[in-house]
Amino acid sequence: MDFFKNLSNSLTKAAEATAKKAGELTDTAKLKLKQNRITTDINDAYTDIGKLIYKQYKESTDESAAIAEKCLAIDKSNEELAAVTAEIEAIKAAAEAAKAQAAEEKAQAAEAADETAAEEAPATEEAPADEAAAETPAGKTCSACGAELPADALFCNKCGQKQD
């Protein structure tokens, strides 16, 4: 029964991680689209400034107010672009931090499982010195919980841990 409970927990965690990653990718994609739109707006404003300068040259009109307005729009767009870029970087940093924390928690859980397995091992048997699955005459030992397994086992019958 422990196997199915552990399998269910593992599948639930995997589904949650997948949903979170999909959300991060969606958010990042939306922000990148916004970045592209802002960049296009900036380039259009540069083009408009060039047209205004050429009109001013060709028709001897004063387009300085319109040029200044376009320059202010570019400044505002650059600020917005910086904010969107910072948002993308924050999402990436949060994802990396979550990934590092998950790895740390997994390492701690494996260490706790090793300690539990060592405590539960009969006094006459020595725990394997290597943290990886150790070979025994009957097969091998689970690297997570210490249960004895057949030599060809891919998963632990007790805890569900994938075996190497």
Q: Where are the domains of the chain?
A: 18-105
- Summarised one tens digit per residue, pLDDT across range 43-63 is 999 999 999 999 999 999 999
Task: Indicate the pLDDT class of residue 83, thresholds 50, 70 and 90.
Answer: very high
**Residue range 23-47, pLDDT digits in tens:** 888 999 999 999 999 999 999 999 9
Task: Report the topology of domain 18-105.
Answer: Helix Hairpins (1.10.287)
pTM: 0.57
| CA quadruple 133, 135, 139, 141: dihedral sign | negative
| 96: CB partners within 8 A, 6+ apart | none
Place of tokens 């006459």: 124
Q: Which of 85, 86, 96, 90 is nearest to 21 (CA)?
A: 96
- Residue 144, number of CB atoms within 10 A of its CB: 23
Closest listed residue to residue 109, CA positions, set 148, 143, 155, 149: 143
Q: What are the φ/ψ torsions at residue 149 (nearest 5 degrees)?
A: -130, 160
